[in-house]
Structure 1
Amino acid sequence: MEGDFKGKLFAVKTAIGRERETAELVYNQNDYRNLSLKSIVVSPETEGYIYVEADDVTDVLRATKNVRLARKVLKNPASKEDVDNIMNPRPLVTKMSHDTPVLITGGDFKGEEGRIENIVRAEGKVTVKIDAAVIPLSVTVDIDQVKLI
């Protein structure tokens, strides 16, 4: 990976959930303005951000100038460990452990917060103890239906 990465990676703050659309608009600006952006990265690890590879931040600023969804360009390039985390994200399962706080994002208990009681990695399921329940309530959901808080 180090051999492929020649420029600097700059973070661009975007509207959450519209990262892919923002990346396409920035790419179109790159072509329209004849800029020298090398690549645009949309990572599932970082909601609300896209990453643009360029030699200088001025090209990124020019590419995002007329893009309404691009909120802000961070002037300092991403560090080497940030780039490694963006390009090689850890699976969500490895970040979870017993008693980790999570938000349920799908199913009947969508929007409820709780703590992990059990993880069945082979089946891709987690058991979550709901915090706001009057009586102790545990539910089992798919791993992709929980988000770390």
Structure 2
Amino acid sequence: MEDKNAIYALKTSVGQEKSVARMLARKVKASGMEINAILAPESLKGYILVEVSGKLDIRNPALRVPHLRGIVDGEKPIDFDEIRKFLKPEPIISSIKKGSIVELISGPFKGERAKVIRINESREEVVLELIEAAVPIPVTVKADQIRIIQKEAD
């Protein structure tokens, strides 16, 4: 039986995916273990993906990192078609609709809630109206500076 690359899903504590990926990368590099890639997709909460040559053994000391819970599906590799959508995610601008309620996650209005009044897909910008503002002022921000709280109001 020849060794080939296999992809495994590893369960982590939710919110700790990136730190687990970083710690795992450091430990694997120091141990000389054969892990080709580690992926922590934003849209996959509580999991990271690892690509290895051969089989992944969760009992390996290099895989002992805080917040790593184990291998999904009993140490069987997952099919590449199952993770394809995480490798080329849909742009955030396509999920934003006019009338949606969003929260600004960066910039001078960080933490403020706003309503989407216009979308410029070509520039990946959104024009918002701050909800708490005494006077409605349109604010233009990049789509990656907001988080959708509520889809468009009916």
Q: State the TM-score, normalizing by the size of structure 2.
A: 0.66
Give the number of the structure whose alpha-carbon radius of gyration is greater: 2
Aligned residues: CA RMSD:
3.5
Alignment of 1:41-52 (within 5 A): 41-46=39-44, 49-52=47-50
**Which residue does 1:25 correspond to in 2?**
23
Aligned length: 142
**Aligned partners of 2:9 and 2:59: how far apart in 1?**
8
Q: State the TM-score, normalizing by the size of structure 1.
A: 0.67
1:124 and 2:139 are equivalent in the alignment: no
**Aligned partners of 1:145 and 1:121: how far apart in 2?**
14
Alignment of 1:1-149 (within 5 A): 6-13=5-12, 16=15, 19=18, 21-33=19-31, 35-46=33-44, 49-54=47-52, 58-59=57-58, 62-65=61-64, 67-68=65-66, 70-73=67-70, 75-76=72-73, 82-133=82-133, 136=136, 138-149=138-149
**Percentage identity across aligned positions?**
20
2:93–2:143 contact (8 Å) kept in structure 1: yes
Seen in structure 2, the aligned counterparts of structure 1 residues 28 and 110 have a Cα distance that, compared at 3 Å, is: closer
Seen in structure 2, the aligned counterparts of structure 1 residues 84 and 148 have a Cα distance that, compared at 3 Å, is: farther
2:20–2:68 contact (8 Å) kept in structure 1: no
Structure 2 unaligned regions, length at least 5:
150-154
Q: State the 1:145 CA deviation.
A: 1.3
**Aligned partners of 1:134 and 1:82: how far apart in 2?**
48
- Structure showing the higher helix proportion among its residues: 1
Q: State the 1:121 CA deviation.
A: 2.0
Structure 1 unaligned regions, length at least 5:
none
Q: State the 1:16 CA deviation.
A: 4.0
